[in-house]
Structure 1
């Protein structure tokens, strides 16, 4: 655990400021700079705002990404406020007429069209000014697969063509796909990228032959291994594989793999107990603050920070749970612990993405955690 995060956790605990999220902004900036360097310009990098939309996170990432990918009118308005001049791509399967109108007014760089009906609505709203779009394709290849509500199969894409023929001000630049969800190995993701690119470029060549330099947005999918928190996605290897695709201007949309590593959820142990042969550590807070392990079905990695405290000590294996009245309020099952006591601190790592913003904040109406951003100064703010 980084020393500055540990020090911040102890200061917050001493001030009665737990539970809390602690974000290491210098660490995030260094990681984003490394990703940008390893990608080497092979593909544009748009940060998927849904992973963590905090203004401090967006400002930290801004110098190291080419733009932001949003999936709602709320995210769009938020990004425009935080980074007014940022390039924006607007995705999402259920855009309302109001959101499409907002996207047109806000001047997003690319609208990702999800269906023929959405395209028809956009044509009506855009009027003479038109719009710049990518068609969201779901060809049923490995990865995203066919059984999702996202994008269009070949029949849906074909249904867009006559609409586009009658709407010359809707400027199609290529296709948007989504390779997969949370693939940790760069080689496997690269194989999917190659397969999708072959299909996409073939489709574009057959149906949009006027696009001499088509765009292909490969989405996200760069995974984070919660069982191996020190491992990172192989960006350089992925960039090398993408560089061999050729034939399109490429874009990727990482979210989790950019921000997960530089956020911690810090709390303290309220109680340790044994129940029906199983040991439990009951923590302040819980999955209403950090829903990630329940949503993804994994154990959240953590570090114990021991403090001088009285009471029983737990050594062996313990299940770390929160304060909610549900057996699903579990953050880590059967974790090895040594001398764990009430008052000790637990710092859950890999909590910088799909964490607080994903959680059901007000169940049982417990207090919200503090949100603190380390910026190189002594005290969290």
Structure 2
């Protein structure tokens, strides 16, 4: 199903250099829509645009936005060709070229073969990026933190207000989009070159790797886009990094499969990850800790990974000071503290790895 509507732009706000937030009048209805300049060119008030309304009609979680397909008033779109020849959104009507960092710096990517022990945090949900980043900065304010956005969920990084906020608050230092994802400060071809990019081009001390907003889940163990976290663990290990798994935990999620340690994390650690990772757990109530240990022990994960406890509270404190409104599945810290503390525990672990005396 593909549903499109034509309408007139009645207001236009630039969210960043590549993303516009529009109000579009379609007959007697007002639509909120996002336009990505790399796909549509510039858009101004009074322009007539074609918007994709599919997700809104289906009631899917797009943040309440439709998306501009084309500017009918400026059909030439983006004029001129950029310096790069790597195509993103390949073989779709919106395919466009970017200058990938690999082609901009071929000598670096020809010579760099590892990431020198850099901690790489593999996360499952986009909201965890904020938790990991805040905890790293709480422990090591001088550490450079890069976010590598994969193409497992949203493809344009411009859709993420969270990333914009983290950059503005100094909790993230650089963004890298890999695969078909686009719009980061640096563009890369795949997760391996993205990690090389993070370490050697962005000079990151810690990399957080996670899909963007809008993950896909089917209620089945493998039918979830975030199981790529297991592949990230493998990639980090193969390049000489130190993988960290940001455990997805909850006491508020009503779905049994996500109670305490989510089946997504358990699946990635038991069936996808072929390399050992540091699996940080937050400080918990004794009953929760006992249940978490049972879940991990049932899959013999203590034999395959290093499982330790870290204090996530400093990350929460820093987030609160920043004023960023971070939520996951509509829940904030007060609604589901375990989720937030678990994400921050992963950041605390990554920061601890930067210490010369870290044992692990």
Question: What's the TM-score once normalised by structure 2's chain length?
Answer: 0.30
Question: What's the TM-score once normalised by structure 1's chain length?
Answer: 0.28
Q: Which has the larger radius of gyration?
A: 1
